[in-house]
Amino acid sequence: MLLAMALTLWSSIFLIIKVGYCYVNLSRKKGTVASQSSTHEGAFLASRSIDGNKGQTYRECSHTALGHSIAWFQVDLGGEYSLESVKIYYRNDANWCPYRFRQFYLDVSNGSAGSTTTLTSQRKRCYKDNTTALATPPSVIDISCKETARYVIVETTYNAQEAIYLNLSGPVLEICEIEVYGCSVGRYGESCSRCHGCSTCDIISGACPCSDTCVNSACNTSNEYCTEGCITGYWGKMCKSQCSQYCIGNTCEQGNGMCTTGCADFYYGYTCEHQCDPQYSPRSCDRVTGVCSGCNTGYYSQFCNRTCSPYCKSGTCDAHNGHCNGGCKTNWAGDLCENK
């Protein structure tokens, strides 16, 4: 009994260790670049935060300048990655607590923080600190951030002058080291090996996510194919395509999207993608060909898209061939009254 408990404990410890170290620190890979909104004294560069030194004293940290309305710091990974977590080491000298770190937020995005074309709405927020004076956030903070993005952005508008022990102007960031953990998009596991047949997968197990448009959210996790069919309104192997809005009952075949119960009034085609001509009378047509069941007065042809001659004596013509009913007006002749 004791042996079994011991084995279980060691298995749990092994799993924790394995999971804890299964991601790559993307901040330290070749091509990763750190930048910030401004640089204090022109010397406390953003690159200090990705040099591998986890020291938290003044001279070891990056530092934005005073006197601005916003301070931001970002890591550019050079491309999209599947992120897992972000760990931040903030300045924490013996007599200098992380006052300036209050109210910061962590966003990820595919647009740079410094780009005028990147909107806040295009970011995804992983964390927002709500610490108020006199309390301070932890100087080392590990944040879960399971997103896919290129840029990791730390930002603040908090004015540290609110702290009673400081007399400073404007928001400031002092980041000593930042570690961004994750894998390349489409990879997972201890060595970030490839997913099994899907574009994105669980970063630990490699399992493909099942779409919530699968019946009972059930799918083959190796390829994302729904195993119990699609919920109403969707079709395809992964149930990600929507049935035509003109399918009666919003239902269609899972394999090809063909409307299973016919088309709404005025529409035709296998997926009800075509609209019957407005001159059909009544406005209905063959489900497959679109051939009309009858034309409005003054129109003819199988699609009712031709007008009767204006020289038909009665103003009407045969719905199939356009021959004028009742002959032609004076001075006109021919089956379609086309000859003067």
196 vs 157, which has greater pLDDT? 157
The DSSP symbol for 252 reads: B
Tens-place pLDDT, residues 175-230: 999 999 988 876 766 566 666 566 667 666 667 778 889 999 898 877 788 999 99
Dist. CA 206–CA 77, nearest whole Å = 22
Which is higher by pLDDT, 285 or 184? Answer: 184
In whole angstroms, give the CA distance from residue 220 to residue 77: 32
pLDDT digits over 21-65, tens only? Answer: 457 899 999 999 999 999 999 999 999 999 999 999 999 999 999
Which domains, and CATH codes, for the chain? Answer: 22-184 (2.60.120.260), 276-340 (no CATH)
Q: What is the pLDDT of residues 65-116, one digit of tens each?
A: 988 899 999 999 999 998 989 999 999 998 888 989 999 999 999 999 877 5
Average pLDDT of the residues in 270-277: 82
> Residue 337 and residue 314: Cα distance in Å, rounded?
12
The pTM for the full model equals 0.54
Measured distance CA(90)–CA(131) in Å, rounded = 15
Q: What does the alpha-carbon distance between residue 168 and residue 288 come to, in Å, rounded to a whole number?
A: 75
Residue 209 DSSP class: P
Confidence of residue 155 (pLDDT cuts 50, 70, 90): very high
